[in-house]
Structure 1
Amino acid sequence: MQDNLDKIVIVGAGTAGVNAASALRQQGFEGQVVILGAESVAPYQRPPLSKAFLAKDKPPAATLLKPGAFFPTNGITLEMGQGVVAIDRTAKAVLTKAGVHYPYDELILATGSSARRLRCPGAGLSNVCYLRNLSDATRLHKSLRSAKSVAILGGGVIGLEVASAAVALDKQVTVIESAGRVMARVATPSATNVITRQLKAAGIRFALNARLARIDGVDGQARTCILESGEAVAADLVVVGIGALPNQGLAVHAGLLCDNGIIVDEAMRSSDPDIYAIGDCAAAENSYYGGRIRIETIHNAMVQAQIAASSICGVRIPDAAPPRFWSDLLGMKLQGLGGLTRYDKLVAFNGKNGVETEVHAFAGDRLVATETINLSKRQSELSKLIHPAE
């Protein structure tokens, strides 16, 4: 640890930012730690927003990342409602929207990502929704109760989780996906075939290889999604889940190197050695993927928070761990391990009930990734079998 380090500022109060602050204390940093969060509410967990939050009759209170007493007990200054608008690298300070300057010795950017916005006629209709934060989830919870037909644009993790919640509420649900299968970016055909079959059996309709042309509305509200094929999909609620973009604007304007995320080295340092980036906003080298990648998972945010804190404190950086993600879909728990980008062989093991599934992805003879459905106890053992690329 550098002897002259006195103040660390963390921009972002999500999983990455809060875990970085916690890790700094665990690693022995005794100086000031300040977290600046743009939202006005205490730091909360985001995964439940597309799962249990939508299923409850009344919107539950957000699940906090840490108890309220955690921050003062650990000497961490938490400033919510303090959106940062600029970084002054020369003065080593950040400026908030309210005009407050926060000087730093080391800066950690944990700014997360934002929903990719829909660009087509009708995209601005009042009942076209996104899901990235607590405010979005609260609005969507209310809208789901009054809707009859729901169109989900995008068959990724968020889209399918919202679709699961909607069909459980007896809504007519259609998932519109431009690819030939759902979850194509994060899961193998073996796993998505099982998921699609079960979701179809529950009443969810899928329009695959389908592109949206426009959304038609009445009195400012969506009523029909028109596909490029000419097909009309009834929808009095449209939920957009077409991916996310890194919140890298601060870094770009500060002159940091960015390419679909803030480029960082193995210690999470950006092109400025006094500025780190972690979580959804960071593009980092990952030995399990064999290159630089931006990963939008809770596990990745927590791992990178530990790496950045270790680097700042001058302690040994944790060994690389297989990336992982999970999703809950109508009684199915999908869990993935490893880097699912370069594989040439899949081996699937299916349980007797047609749902329990285990998939192994190989590159040559090397196991690069695994997936399980409703086999949570397998994760510990499988994680030992996956190794980084040489």
Structure 2
Amino acid sequence: MEFYLIVVGSGLAGYGLIEEIRHYSKDMSILILTEDDGHYYSKPALSTGFSQSLSADDLVDKTAAQMAEEFNIDIKSFTTVTELNPELNQLRVDGVTYNYKKLVLATGASPIRLSWPEDVNSMVFPINNRLEYQEFSHKLTGKNRVAVIGSGLVGAEYANDLAMAGKQVSVISMDERLLQRLVPCQISDALQTRLGDLGVRFEFDSKVIAGHLNTEQELELTLSNGQQLKVDIILSAVGLSPNLHLAAEAGIATGHGIKVDLSLQTSAKNVYALGDCAEIQGLVRMYLIPLNLSIKALARTLTAADELPVKVSFGAMPVLVKTPSCGIVCVPPPSELKGQWRVAGEAPHLQAEFVDEEGKLSGFALSGKKLLQRMTMLRQLTGNQ
């Protein structure tokens, strides 16, 4: 079987690309191959669903069948690509060979899994897709005490959402504070205070060093700081690792992600990578704004056969932290850049500006009512770049 375009993956990257392509081409033959059910949903909704009592089915915006009909595409769900041959422009799936003119790898990323004692491991869950949300929701039924491992963006969002759902939440993290790599300590503290008002407990600069399931089916955890906790279930939010296996086995260049140039093309001809699996200029950008910019560029490249590829351009890209207790938006400065945060306001309404050693604005973070300054700060930051 042959298709002009085959997309591996049915997340926001895969479906977003197809929706954009249909603005330019109504009849391009397209096949989506996906390991899950292929239903379309908004991934950011995962970390806001518990407080709204949403089931995994409630999160579905459109079924795979509805997506196939609306966008005139073929979708094969619950399938795994076993082989990619870029030289022949072929994929092998469940013993069937598919030929393509263009291939997009939108394979996403998988949660990093820590090592746990066997009886504890059965109660540790990541949530990075709707089916994992479904599994965690099922296990959460009748349980009240949740340990969230990790205090980055995802950990903070789930801690807020679960606390708003009435759960007793304990955040355990090897970091010293919330959102440590994104915002200054004053905004971290403001968020911690607001989450604390919801009953969230924090154990920073610490990790689980021992644990077991007792006779009452409670998880008894011992932390490196000497604290002991009893919880019912663990949500692991310690980061994601790009899915590289298919590309690497095909001889495509990989690093932290699948390496692509600014036109999203990999080291293999006619093969592109998009979303959480793609490494662009040495960085894997796992946020919505860079994804949407990449989608727009790649869709134009794939539908303009006789023109030069369209290169993606990244400017200032704000990160929205979905913590209703203390709303936050930020544009973190480059991690290697030297400078200092200048913070003004009264918690939780704070405005932080990162100024480099030359006095140049190179990042910002806003919380509370200061979110109203978002566009002003973006204009200032863009003007400095």
TM-score after normalising by structure 1:
0.87
2:269 counterpart residue number: 273
CA drift of 1:279 comes to 0.8
Distance 1:41 1:118, change over 3 A: same
CA distance in structure 1 between the aligned counterparts of 2:112 and 2:246, rounded to whole angstroms:
18
Preserved contact between residue 39 and residue 83 of structure 1 (Cα < 8 Å): no
Does residue 11 of the first structure (1) align with residue 8 of the second (2)?
yes
CA drift of 1:270 comes to 1.0
Preserved contact between residue 125 and residue 220 of structure 1 (Cα < 8 Å): no
Q: What are the equivalent positions in structure 2 for 1:140-289 lying under 5 Å apart?
A: 140-218=136-214, 221=217, 223-285=219-281
CA distance in structure 1 between the aligned counterparts of 2:285 and 2:216, rounded to whole angstroms:
36
Deviation track 1:124-164 (CA, whole Å, cap 9, x = no partner) reads 53222211111221232243342232211111122122211
CA distance in structure 1 between the aligned counterparts of 2:16 and 2:383, rounded to whole angstroms:
25
Counterpart pick for 1:383 among 371, 378, 383: 378
Q: Is the partner of 1:7 in helix, strand or coil? A: strand
1:84 counterpart residue number: 81
- CA-based RMSD: 2.7
Preserved contact between residue 215 and residue 222 of structure 1 (Cα < 8 Å): no
Distance 1:129 1:70, change over 3 A: closer
Query: After alignment, is 123-132 or 240-249 more displaced?
Result: 123-132
Distance 1:166 1:72, change over 3 A: closer
CA drift of 1:388 comes to 9.5
2:198 maps to amino acid: A
Deviation track 1:269-316 (CA, whole Å, cap 9, x = no partner) reads 11113111111101112xxxxxx2112112222222222223333364
Does residue 293 of the first structure (1) align with residue 265 of the second (2)?
no
CA distance in structure 2 between the aligned counterparts of 1:139 and 1:358, rounded to whole angstroms:
39
Q: What are the equivalent positions in structure 2 for 1:11-50 lying under 5 Å apart?
A: 11-28=8-25, 30-50=27-47
Unpaired segments of 5 or more residues in structure 1?
Answer: 286-291
Distance 1:303 1:220, change over 3 A: farther
Counterpart pick for 1:344 among 339, 343, 361: 339
Distance 1:251 1:358, change over 3 A: same
1:327 counterpart residue number: 321
Q: Is the partner of 2:381 in helix, strand or coil? A: coil
Distance 1:73 1:148, change over 3 A: closer
2:108 counterpart residue number: 112
CA drift of 1:265 comes to 0.9
Counterpart pick for 2:298 among 308, 311, 318: 308
Distance 1:333 1:72, change over 3 A: same
Aligned length: 376
Preserved contact between residue 126 and residue 222 of structure 1 (Cα < 8 Å): no
CA distance in structure 2 between the aligned counterparts of 1:271 and 1:42, rounded to whole angstroms:
31
TM-score after normalising by structure 2:
0.88
- Identity, % of aligned positions: 19
Distance 1:384 1:94, change over 3 A: farther
Q: Which has the larger share of helix? A: 2
Preserved contact between residue 328 and residue 367 of structure 2 (Cα < 8 Å): yes
1:75 counterpart residue number: 72
CA distance in structure 2 between the aligned counterparts of 1:219 and 1:304, rounded to whole angstroms:
51
Q: Is the partner of 1:239 in helix, strand or coil? A: strand
2:97 counterpart residue number: 101
Query: After alignment, is 276-285 or 75-84 more displaced?
Result: 75-84
Preserved contact between residue 120 and residue 211 of structure 2 (Cα < 8 Å): no
1:132 counterpart residue number: 128
CA distance in structure 1 between the aligned counterparts of 2:226 and 2:372, rounded to whole angstroms:
46
Query: After alignment, is 145-154 or 307-316 more displaced?
Result: 307-316
1:335 maps to amino acid: V
CA distance in structure 1 between the aligned counterparts of 2:383 and 2:276, rounded to whole angstroms:
21
CA drift of 1:337 comes to 2.7
Unpaired segments of 5 or more residues in structure 2?
Answer: none
CA distance in structure 2 between the aligned counterparts of 1:82 and 1:15, rounded to whole angstroms:
18
Deviating runs (4+, > 4 A) in structure 1?
65-71, 219-222
1:381 maps to amino acid: T
Q: Is the partner of 2:61 in helix, strand or coil? A: coil
Preserved contact between residue 153 and residue 240 of structure 1 (Cα < 8 Å): yes
CA distance in structure 2 between the aligned counterparts of 1:100 and 1:221, rounded to whole angstroms:
46
Distance 1:142 1:254, change over 3 A: same
